[in-house]
Amino acid sequence: MASLRNASPRLRNYFKENYIPQVCEVLLCGLLVTCPQDPLKYLEEMIITIMKSGLKSLLWDMCIDPSMKPKIRRLSETYLEQLFGLDDQLMTPELMIKACTFYTGHLVKTYFCSWKDIVIPHINEDIKTEKIEKAIQYENFRLQKYIFCHWHSYVKGQKKQLKDTLLRIQQIFYSNKLAMILTKWRDKARYNYQKKDDELLLKHELQLRKWRNRIKYKRNAEEHFLFPDRSLSAISLVGEIPVCDISLLPERAILQIFFYLSLRDVVICSQVCHSWMSMTQISLLWNHIDFSTVKNVIMEKYIVSTLQRWRLNVLRLNFRGCSLRLKTLRSVSLCKNLQELNVSDCPTLTDESMRHISEGCPGVLFLNLSNTTITNRTMRLLPRHFHNLQNLSLAYCRKFTDKGLQYLNLGNGCHKLIYLDLSGCTQISVQGFRNIANSCTGIMHLTINDMPTLTDNCLKVLVEKCPHITSVVFLGAPHISDRAFKALSTCNLRKIRFEGNKRITDACFRFIDKHYPNINHIYMVNCKGITDGSLKSLSPLKQLSVLNLANCVRIGDVGLKQFLDGPSSIRIRELNLSNCINLGDASIVKLSERCPHLNYLNLRNCEHVTDLGIECIVNIFSLISLDLSGTDISNEGLMILSRHRKLKELSLSECYKITDAGIQVLTLAVCSDY
């Protein structure tokens, strides 16, 4: 292309308009080979010829120097006619021109392709070399970029690690600084606290010494007055305070002292000194371990170690409300002599943990599983392993079914069961109570509270095979009626507790009079159907000692007088008549005459009780606790009541007629007694 720059402007313009630069460069390279003397001259001639006559005038030997052209002799027409045997009619000028043109084009194509194959590789090598150089540069750049990215990531990670390390060191520094500050503050606080205690102890010690010196001096003066011949030297000097060491007390006395302490206090006492440590290691002290008092502070590993150490001495364990792991509950099985176990309100208690406990502690007598997630699997374990079980609480356990109660009759069964608590187990049906009756025929104490599904039929099927029931507690059982008492007539009841029942009437008390002559505890609270007739039915009872008829608003003075006229008034010790608004002073007068052993009396909100009735209450000399809240007494009644010498508890809330003067008189009377 450098040679073309020397050509005329006309050639250059024609070249730019009609030809591709690379093709012209190839032509020029070919001319350099065939016309080495003056290639530019032949190129200009060839291009001029092409411009004038077109590409048809292009001959195959135009670019060859005349001196290098081959010596070819032309054939005349006669030779051609003789050679091809053509006559005048077949060989026309047009065909001859066409044949020559084709032949010339074929030669041009043949030699031009051969010439291109020779010349173009040189051009391709230059282009290839340039591409290789560019490829090498690109590869070097890509490699540098790859290495730089790795280096950048590494440096970034190192910076982050360094930053985290510095932050951690800073946190450790601040933590150590805070620890040092807290340690110094704690030491200073302990020193001030100890100094304050020492000063207070010294002050009390000096006061005690002065007091003892005064008593000793007074005693010496009396002795000197009575025995004037005795020498003063025989009298010991005063001022020494004897030291009391409880470790010198008998073991029985030490046990009585430590029995009043909680588990946490016992552990603290064991860290005082060696003698106190030895006192806390008395085996009888660890017969009863109550972990429920320290459930929020004690670690489970200490529970396991304690049970492992005292496994042969532990008789009673209390885990109420403790959230323990399965491993910790397994350690209970080490206590082979365990008799009482309370795992109520333990959210982590499962059938698996109960399996380990039942296999290791066959001597359990009292078992409390209330408010846990046990199922029928645990119910199956009870008769298999706890052959001597007497007390069982399943209150608010709602995962077992009637079929689980049927398991109680497997193996040796739970025939020794005396106390059963099924409070809140609303999933139990009549069939479930029938299963209980078939399995636990020796039940004496039955507690079923907060069970709205309990009906008379449930009690009927239970009592048919459990005739030994002596006490029933049905608080929150609104569907129990008088028929239940008729069903219980075959039992020897001694204690009845009902609350919030509107279906119980006076008819049930007629059953009590006829069939329960030995009953001593009646608790019928908030039973609206009870009237004065019920009290009349209770009057023949000779063993009755506790009567609670609170919120039975239909009871009045007439019924209470009829009750007190009977033999039951002689043994009555507790009487609760709160919110019985129809009672007045006439009932109080009768109480003072017929209840010589009454200790507890509740007349809360009995608005008709006045100072006149208080005069009679003073005559009940055995009275210890009295509730007169909401009554109509005044200061005069308090003055009368102040003459009672055995009264220990007195409630006077909402007594609006009492003033400070009455309270002052009562206080002075109480203080004078002490």
**Residue 263: how many CA atoms within 13 Å on its side-chain side?**
19
Q: Return the top range by mean pLDDT from 78-92, 104-118, 504-518, 579-593.
A: 579-593
3-state SS, residue 623: coil
Cα(184)–Cα(581) distance, integer angstroms: 66
Q: What is the pLDDT of residues 552-578, one digit of tens each?
A: 999 999 999 999 998 888 899 999 999
> Is pLDDT larger for residue 295 or for residue 69?
295
- Taking the CA atoms of residue 106, residue 107, residue 112 and residue 115 in that order, the dihedral angle to the nearest 10 degrees is 140
Three-class DSSP category at 219? helix
State pLDDT tens for residues 168-192: 999 999 999 999 999 899 888 888 8
Place 444 in a pLDDT band, splitting at 50, 70 and 90: very high
Look up residue 670 and give its two tokens: 């109480």
pLDDT bucket at 411, cuts 50 / 70 / 90: confident
Q: What is the pLDDT of residue 7?
A: 47
Which tens digit of pLDDT belongs to each residue from 535-544? 988 888 989 9
Q: Which of 73-87, 606-620, 621-635 has the lowest mean pLDDT?
A: 73-87
CB atoms within 10 A of CB 384: 15
The answer to whether the CB of 241 falls within 8 A of the CB of 205 is yes
445 falls in which pLDDT band (50, 70, 90)? very high
Residue pair 351/326 in contact by the 8 Å Cβ criterion? no
User: What is 274-322 written as a DSSP string?
Assistant: HHHHHHHT-GGGGSEEEGGGGTTT--HHHHHHHHHHSTTT--EEE-TT-
- Whether the predicted pLDDT of 530 surpasses 80: yes
pLDDT score of 442 more than 60: yes
pLDDT of res. 162: 93
End-to-end CA gap in the chain: 137
3-state SS assignment for residue 420: strand
pLDDT tens digit string along 201-237?
A: 777 777 777 777 777 766 666 555 444 444 444 444 3
Q: Give me the pLDDT at residue 663, please.
A: 86
The pLDDT assigned to 237 comes to 39
Q: Which of 253-257, 419-423, 579-583 has the lowest mean pLDDT?
A: 253-257
Going by pLDDT thresholds of 50, 70 and 90, the confidence category of residue 30 is low
Structure-token pair, residue 247: 């470790």
Between 90 and 377, name the one with better pLDDT.
377
How far apart, in whole angstroms, are the C-alpha atoms of residue 111 and residue 30? 11
Gyration radius from the chain CA atoms: 59
pLDDT at residue 666, rounded to an integer: 82
Token pair recorded at residue 353: 């943990």
Reply yes or no on whether the pLDDT at 607 is more than 60: yes
**Mean pLDDT within 495-504:** 88
Position 230 scores a pLDDT of 45
Q: Is the pLDDT of residue 4 over 60?
A: no
Lowest mean pLDDT: which of 10-24, 216-230, 246-260, 468-482?
Answer: 10-24
Question: Is residue 1's pLDDT more than 50?
Answer: no
Record the tokens describing residue 186, joined without a space: 């704690």
pLDDT score of 11 more than 70: no
pLDDT confidence tier of residue 62, bands split at 50, 70 and 90: low
In this prediction, residue 430 carries a pLDDT of 93
* Burial (CB count <10 Å: 0-12, 13-18, 19+), residue 39: buried
DSSP strand pairing (391-393 vs 316-318): unpaired
Residue, of 95 and 401, whose pLDDT is higher = 401
Identify the weakest region by mean pLDDT among 132-146, 243-257, 318-332, 352-366.
243-257
Helix (H) / strand (E) containing 512: helix 506-515
Average pLDDT, the chain: 82
Percent of the chain with pLDDT over 70: 80
Distance CA 27, CA 119 (A): 9
DSSP per residue, 325-367:
-HHHHHGGGG-TT--EEE-TT-TT--HHHHHHHHHH-TT--EE
List the beta strands (DSSP E) in 457-604: 471-475, 495-499, 521-525, 546-548, 574-576, 600-602
Cβ–Cβ < 8 Å for 356, 331: no
pLDDT of residue 82: 56
Mean pLDDT of 192-197: 82
Enumerate residues 6+ apart whose C-beta is below 8 A from 166.
none
Check residue 19 and give its pLDDT.
44
pLDDT in tens, 500-527: 888 888 888 888 878 888 899 999 999 8
Q: d(Cα 129, Cα 133) in Å, to the nearest integer?
A: 6
Query: Please, are residues 598 and 623 in contact by the beta-carbon 8 Å criterion?
Result: yes
Contact 365, 342 (CB under 8 A): no
Point out the least confidently predicted range of 163-172, 211-220, 319-328, 484-493: 211-220
Integer Cα distance of 66 and 44 in angstroms: 16
Compute the average pLDDT of residues 282-303: 89
Band (pLDDT 50/70/90 cuts) for residue 24 is low
pLDDT of residue 286: 92
List the structure tokens of 400. Answer: 């077992």
